[in-house]
Structures are given as C-alpha cells and as structure tokens.
Amino acid sequence: MLILGIETSCDETSAAVIEVNKKKIKVVSNVVSSQIAKHAPFGGVVPSLAAREHVKNLPMVIKQTLGKLTIKDMDLLAVTSGPGLISSLLVGTAFAKTLAYKYKKPIIGVNHMEGHIYSNWLRSISEFSNKKPFPALCLVVSGGHTQLILMKKYGVYKLIGETVDDAAGEAFDKIARILGLEYPGGPAISKISEVGDKEIYNLPRPMLDSKNYNFSFSGLKTSVLYLVRDLLKEKGSTKLDPKTVSNIAASTQEAIVDVLVKKTVQAAKEYKVKCIMLSGGVSANKLLRKRLTSEGEKLNLKVSLPKPEFTTDNAAMIAMAGYFNYKKKHKYDWNKVEANANWELV
C-alpha cells in the first residue's frame, strides 16, 4: 500500500510517500523543508512564525513528494496530530483532513513520538518484518522529550523513565545558547566537540546513580552557566575564546551521552530486552550512536539506529507509524482526526 505522511508538529514542514507490503518497506520520497534559518535569529522556535511557514510551504512540499503520483494513488493519509506546538499541528491536520475529505481517503492521526520510534523501521529491506525485535527498549530523545519506553509489541508501550525537567535536546539547545553557538544547539555542540577536549571540565551527571530510570538535565545547564560566568570573571572578558567554548561543548556532550547510555543499558539488562532502539532528533548525535552501539554489543544486544536522514523530524516516520496503527476493518474518517498538543504516547 502507498501511504502519504505529513509532519508539521514543530519547525520542519515535511511530507513523504512510503510503500509497504509484506516483503518490503520503501521510502518512495521524503521531503523536509527546514525553517531553521527563520528561527535561528530568535535562538529557538517562534510558534506563530512556524505556523505561518507551514501554511506557506506545505502545499509545495506535498506536491514535491508526490512527484508523478497523485493523492488518488494513496491508500492512506497519516498526519502528526500531537504532541507539538498547537499552531503548527493545526496547519498539518487541517490540510490533511481537507485532502482526505476531498479525495475520500482514510486518514489516521499519528503520535509524533511513536513516529520517532518507527523511524527504526525505515530501511529498504526491513530487518524487523520477519524477525520481531520485542521486547525492545526505546530511548526517545528529542527537543521536547527524553523517555525510556519498553515496547512489548506493536503499539504496546510502557514508560520506564523520563526526564524530570529539561529534555536532552533542550539541554543541548540551551547550553549552546549560553556558549553563544547557533540554533539548533545539538548539531552545533556536536560539531565543535570534535576539536574540544572533554577532560578539561568535569560537568555533573545528574541522576546517574538514582534508583530509577529518570533523567534530569537542568542542573547540567546551570553548571555550565556558572562555569562560563566564573571563567569570564577570571579573564575579565565578555566573550570566551573558541578553544574554551569547544572544550565546554565536548564536556557537555560527554556528560549527556554518559547519562543516556548508562541508564539505557541498565534498563535493558533489568527488562531483559532483545533490542535497544534509539530515536528522536538527538539520535543524530554521533557519539551517542557510537557509545550506545558499543555498550549494547558488550551485552550481546542488538542496537537499532535510525538512518541519519530519519533522526530529526520527517514525514516518512509518520507514514510508517500510520501503517502499523491502521487496521483495515476500522473507519478512518477525516472528522475523527484532531490536533492534540499534549498527546502523550504513554
């Protein structure tokens, strides 16, 4: 079957067509129109600006992703209906519902976080279609969420732990801002960490030894804030030199990755999972991918990483989650899909 996915939950306007049958999962096309340049001067996403950009770009993005195909060729429409910025979600859901109404197509609302989890299925030949990876432990790390979710089977989830304050991506973004780096902070910190020395500054690893699988990143942000304030005072300067910035960035990345990997591996042992699955925008982080893979291998565990192009927000993962939630016998009318900014998966 052919599925059109639509994603507008935050600041990426995306549409994708995927083809799924018993033998294959194929991403026919996945178009992402990034708004990063529009929001960068503000140091973060401006909701009203994001919604306006979605309105402007979504028709073209859909047209581009369809290529020679038409909506009539689609068997299902899948649209992100939450969680996210309500103004952004409303644009995507209203547009998708209009298409479903006009072309009399079934439409399904998809949870954005479940979409991230299913980014792991987007492979040309699905490793998972024959061999089921369950129980799997999903580490979902994005700009708004940091969750450890036990996936018992398709659509059955249990929350094992989550952040009690900032999300991992949020920590990257806020610390980057303190360091005077561009938005979004994750890729910026990751890039300059390559030339930084992670040993110079020893930053805290909050909740590393707590007896649960929760995370906390706001203390780390405060530590960096105080460190920068003290260094500037010491040097009598208003700006850190590039070497110091890259050293702090490398220590930040090390601290965040350390906590994420150690807690995930501990939980994987306790819950005796078959597979660890990484997803969410922070899963683009090379150090996190490398460290999680090597620690998983030590336990003889398969570690599944989404392809780099499907780590940050994209509509292919939304189409994939739509496929796994779609049951042919049910009715999927346009008027059943509602945007819900606070839709929690678990």
Q: Alpha-carbon distance 159 to 169, whole Å?
A: 19
The answer to the question of residue 325 lying near Zn ion (CB under 5 A) is no
The answer to the question of residue 313 lying near Zn ion (CB under 5 A) is yes
* The token pair that represents 224 in the structure block: 């960096």
Q: Kindly give the residue spans of alpha helices, DSSP state H, lying in 198-285.
A: 218-235, 242-270
Selected from 88, 93, 142, 285, the binder of Zn ion by CB under 5 A is 142
Return the range that interacts with ligand KG4 (CB under 6 A); candidates 29-37, 138-146, 147-155, 217-225: 138-146
Of 229, 245, 236, residue with least CA distance to 180: 245
Return the range that interacts with Zn ion (CB under 5 A); candidates 50-58, 117-125, 194-202, 307-315: 307-315
Beta carbons of 98 and 91 less than 8 angstroms apart: no
The answer to the question of residue 8 lying near Zn ion (CB under 5 A) is no
The answer to the question of residue 11 lying near Zn ion (CB under 5 A) is no
Enumerate residues 259-298 that contact ligand KG4 by CB under 6 A: 280-282, 284-285
- 3-class secondary structure per residue, 98-128: HHHHHHCCCEEEEEHHHHHHHHHHCCCCCCC
Q: Which is nearer to ligand KG4, 109 or 143 (CB)?
A: 143
**Beta strands at 146-153 and 156-162: parallel, antiparallel or unpaired:** antiparallel
Residue 29, by phi and psi: left (phi above 0), alpha (psi -120 to 50) or beta?
beta
- Tell me the closest approach of the beta carbon of residue 185 to ligand KG4, in angstroms: 5
Q: Which does 284 bind (CB under 5 to 8 A by kind): Zn ion, ligand KG4, none?
A: ligand KG4
Q: Alpha-carbon distance 116 to 230, whole Å?
A: 39
Q: Which is nearer to ligand KG4, 99 or 345 (CB)?
A: 345
Return the range that interacts with ligand KG4 (CB under 6 A); candidates 124-132, 168-176, 202-210, 211-219: 168-176
The answer to the question of residue 187 lying near ligand KG4 (CB under 6 A) is yes
Residues binding ligand KG4 (CB under 6 A): 10, 142-144, 169, 172-173, 184-187, 190, 280-282, 284-285, 312-313
